[in-house]
Structure 1
């Protein structure tokens, strides 16, 4: 008995501790169909925010027949140490409860306890979250009502002197009218039922406007209710033969513009289809010297999606939302977000934030809101950008494909039965100019197959702290178009990438020596570019490819030659630009410029006299990239011209940036497109190393390659069936968009 009493007291203390740190919460539900014995399957998505990650709401049946819980999933969505100054942390978690409900009649679930965090308008106050569900069959859709998808960030903050407008995302999958208002029934759908001054809530647009309030270390707490109403008069039919009527919502009159309006409750409205709680905390910080976005407050820039944008996703394919922000007078520190369970984020070395989520078959046909904001710091002050929310629409997967990642290529295989109206003749990679990038080369009667080098075909490189990602895509193009730059029939777009861990400098395992590049162009036929290194200024014998990676001492001279071979005698070679990068990809940014617009940029570059006009010889002093990168790859943009033509890029030579180079224009047939050639790696010998023979260096490199290859990780988007073809290859999808 004594043990039982002690246990009950401990449980009570845990409950009180949990309840006394509440910072907000939301709830939505999804109807999932019926069980074999006729019960209604409903998923409840309950998010809660506390000052630690171990707490969560406890929901119970408040009214009606709520059924029994069949399954529960719980996980952390996001957390941050930039909480109000009297709190150490905020943490948002989501619990997904699957319930089997015996009836389609209305019922209510509620979570209730004490207390809110120390707040300006809810000191030691209770909190109440109420969810009202009605599973009656709608006369307009012939399905039970689907709740709005609501979301906001759990903790919002703004400087005292910076008015700001927040559009609370309330997307309704049935197309219903969604309205928001403050909780009105004390101890039922709200605890304090307070309407903070200095704010205005527009119920019809669910827009919250902050005008002015004094700064305080304590937050305001908002207890709102979200309801959906049909656009016209409908009935709900129940399995017992009864029915109910639902009418459109009344519209609230707009406030006058004579002064900043105060918050007002919504007028009496007809009965809604559902009611959902939307609770969050709002902190007013000290004034900031400038409210201009991009100064102290982070400003979103491209490719950040617009607020309210819809992102199409497929089952088992990773959704990727890229977020970029700038602030000139503060330092970008972090991103905070709210989204469905298993949403994650990471920061790239280019300081982009990438939010990712992979929907499962349970999410098919539904819609999910992901909200985010970027935070910056200046000293002890934290500044938050405006809030943006996007809606992820989960549809069916349509493309059967897989990807295989090797040390130097990505092999993509797509079943032709996935797109019966298209063939490899209608598809292309990002840059198909190189013959090796043609999808016709390896395709067969059943599959479109592409074998894509990591440093060609328009492959883009991206990195974060742990991985290198090589990305490309397959798209449709118009055969009847005059060029391959545009399409007006976007029937297919498959994005994919291979991902490699950076640990152990795995990039040295990529192909050491690049073979000659063969190109075909109208008017010039087939021609080949060969990029090689030479041991000295005589340029007599190129360095044997077996000796790669080549080793140089810092400051020693590197001799390079690019040579074009063509069946046409009256042609000449022109090198537009050359740059160096620490990875074997010409698209890596930032790259170190060597030659730009035909002009020498690096001060150590010497251009040597060629033997003929289809040859380019140059040299420069060896260098290394600052940091952990010991290797250097050289990439050049080259083209061919008809010799002696006055208006070609070759005849123009070195052109400064302000001279208006026309190298991108193809107004004359006297020149080809630009092509990329690359070579490497060059390894910079450390001062403590002895100069070993090239053969010994090669052998050591091969041993290193063998040890690194087992770590490759592959990823593809637009994939319906993933089949691992090599050991330890892991597939994850990117967003795919199809018409």
Structure 2
């Protein structure tokens, strides 16, 4: 999103609005207290929609003392600039204007020019205007200056001619006033506004074409209220009276009757399009699915804390193309590779205690025709206190979170009632904090990917009973994530030697696995960690050892599976199986020791043909009670048709084995001096199955871009602190 900031008087701004067609807009105001010199500061948030981005509104003083502008920040909220012009391009921007006032008496501003986009109810040169009536008097019911309602809307909506539709107004008033709406101009045939709810209705009677909708939003007192001004004068408000006509604000001592505190414009364009074969949501018109929030749902966030809204839609006869959003400045939208939209926004200190509406519409396409879903809106409340409940550490192969126990105790949640996505993973406490540390592929961590980032997400949730698997009273959801950009240096980020993998599980205490390469089959000299990545010639033997260290006596280690891939991701789409279900898959694999807590094995070096010259070895390992015939370790090799061994145990039973853990080591590389033609001959003569290697290489050609982006393009190592790679289970 492009945001520009200017510290210029409003009179010096050159307006580009008249050079572009107008589609709609709105404005609200927020009193921000007194400046050091005693003057008043007021922030105005306005939204406007024109044919293109870059238009600027000139706000002119219509009546009263309007003060002067001291600051302006403008940014793009949503733009259709990449579309074909025949599909109507438009751009919504938000501006935050700060004004300095020497008086808190009522005044009126307005932005106006020519012309509306070509509309059926006004022609091609119809002028537009956005008037706002401001009153900053101190209220007797709140002892605070008056605030206007906060609202937003999608400023350009499409509706098929034959489909009735209701657009639910979203608005909130910081003073808890009654919000009402009325027409600022005669509504076209087929359109209605509910004055009490402000909901906007379309009935299938309008002709196709573009229409402008011009409404006014007003806030009325719920009880008799006095407004007091700095010069000693007063005005009065009484509750809304439907039969009376709104009158101008009075500053005399006589009650003014049912007058609004403020009046705001709410204007947008509606395009009535040809009939659609079905008006049912989910056919041509998109339908929202879980986890999309409900309409008018209230969400909460805190200063400098990123809010995330996840939205999904579908349609059987059209393709979801986009999500149109309207919300506060700096709101962003991304789309995951799975088709889910993620809307994010991080409030600043200026947003403390405020409420912000966010609206969205899903848009789909069938042929050259665009269809829109219903409009949903939510209200986001910015908390007064910054959330400090969790601290997240992102490293290149694991992530960790610590939660301040005092924060969880404030909401009456004991640490024993908190868990991660995967209930088998345990949270631990050091007295002041609850913490967890996990690899990027464990503990229920979910991976998402968009065009620019790979994101690993998990959450800490509360449960009614630690032994339950369901809950109907979810009091706590602490979501955390690590985001790794795809773009950047990708050369040496995963060349470091892997430290021992540490885990914790009841019955086995804290145990670790150490995966190392050795010089020879004697397994006396371990490869120096500083020499990684290791280099081999094709066909050379690679000697590996996995050792388990546990405080529990009488245990044995079992290597359930091993695979090679161009990354240390056990779920890599490109992989070559070495061991599967305890069975040898690679014909060059040899076991030199396979009992107790140490497994020693070796195999001949190879490479993936095509894009990569490095290989990671990833293994799934289990630690069992020795000499117990009921463990997975004792079952050894199992073919794929055999029933899988049970990898779980009841909490009240003594555990006889751990869950499976993934560990990895590498990378190893083909020596740069090797002649590939000679090397291929050497490997073939030594008996390595080159057909398998070739197939794995071909898979890499098809999938390498995805896998490479997933693993090799994480944050540079310089961004991390040297932390141990622990994985608590």
Map of 1:168 onto structure 2: 169
1:134 positional shift: 1.8
Cα 1:526/1:486, change in 2 over 3 Å:
farther
Stretch of structure 1 that moved more, 673-682 or 631-640: 631-640
Deviations 1:288-308 (A, max 9, x none): 444443443333333332222
- Tell me the TM-score normalized by structure 1: 0.71
1:383 aligns with 2:383: no
1:22 positional shift: 0.6
Cα 1:631/1:344, change in 2 over 3 Å:
farther
Which of 271, 275, 284 is the matching residue for 2:272? Answer: 284
Give the Cα separation in 1 of the matches to 2:578 and 2:121: 63
Where do residues 287-436 of structure 1 align in structure 2 (5 Å cutoff)?
Answer: 287-395=275-383, 396-399=385-388, 407-408=396-397
Deviations 1:552-608 (A, max 9, x none): 99999999987756566776767888888875456x7989897999699x9999999
Map of 2:223 onto structure 1: 232
Give the Cα separation in 2 of the matches to 1:110 and 1:712: 52
Give the Cα separation in 1 of the matches to 2:183 and 2:284: 32
1:333 positional shift: 2.6
SS at match of 1:18: helix
SS at match of 2:363: strand
Deviations 1:433-462 (A, max 9, x none): 789x8564xx9x8x8887765555665544
Give the Cα separation in 2 of the matches to 1:212 and 1:75: 36
Where do residues 111-122 of structure 1 align in structure 2 (5 Å cutoff)?
Answer: 111-122=111-122
Stretch of structure 1 that moved more, 489-498 or 552-561: 552-561
Cα 1:246/1:595, change in 2 over 3 Å:
farther
SS at match of 1:205: coil
1:43 aligns with 2:51: no
1:351 positional shift: 3.2
Which of 465, 468, 474 is the matching residue for 2:454? Answer: 468
1:428 positional shift: 7.3
* Contact residue 405 and residue 712 of structure 1 kept, 8 A: no
Cα 1:684/1:652, change in 2 over 3 Å:
closer
Stretch of structure 1 that moved more, 103-112 or 673-682: 673-682
Stretch of structure 1 that moved more, 151-160 or 620-629: 620-629
1:363 positional shift: 0.9
Cα 1:577/1:329, change in 2 over 3 Å:
farther
Cα 1:706/1:629, change in 2 over 3 Å:
closer
Map of 1:181 onto structure 2: 182
* Contact residue 495 and residue 667 of structure 2 kept, 8 A: no
Where do residues 117-196 of structure 1 align in structure 2 (5 Å cutoff)?
Answer: 117-123=117-123, 124-183=125-184, 193-196=185-188
Deviations 1:79-119 (A, max 9, x none): 11487965752011122111123333322222222211111
Give the Cα separation in 2 of the matches to 1:477 and 1:630: 44
Give the Cα separation in 2 of the matches to 1:676 and 1:200: 62
- Tell me the TM-score normalized by structure 2: 0.72
Map of 2:695 onto structure 1: none
Cα 1:284/1:100, change in 2 over 3 Å:
same
Of structures 1 and 2, the one scoring higher in RCO (CA 8 A, sep 6+) is: 1
Cα 1:429/1:532, change in 2 over 3 Å:
farther
Cα 1:475/1:555, change in 2 over 3 Å:
farther
Give the unaligned 5+ runs of structure 1.
Answer: 1-10, 184-192, 253-268, 694-704, 715-724, 727-739
1:274 aligns with 2:262: yes
SS at match of 2:309: strand
SS at match of 1:283: strand
* Contact residue 556 and residue 633 of structure 2 kept, 8 A: no
SS at match of 1:144: coil
1:522 aligns with 2:506: yes
Give the Cα separation in 1 of the matches to 2:333 and 2:45: 20
Cα 1:438/1:449, change in 2 over 3 Å:
closer
Aligned residues: 657
Give the Cα separation in 2 of the matches to 1:605 and 1:60: 82
Which of 228, 236, 254 is the matching residue for 1:244? Answer: 236
Stretch of structure 1 that moved more, 626-635 or 402-411: 626-635
Deviations 1:139-196 (A, max 9, x none): 222212222211111211133344333212112222222222321xxxxxxxxx2313
Map of 2:55 onto structure 1: 55
1:359 positional shift: 1.4
Map of 1:203 onto structure 2: 195
**Aligned CA-pair RMSD:** 5.4
SS at match of 1:113: strand
SS at match of 2:110: strand
* Contact residue 552 and residue 682 of structure 1 kept, 8 A: no
SS at match of 1:519: strand
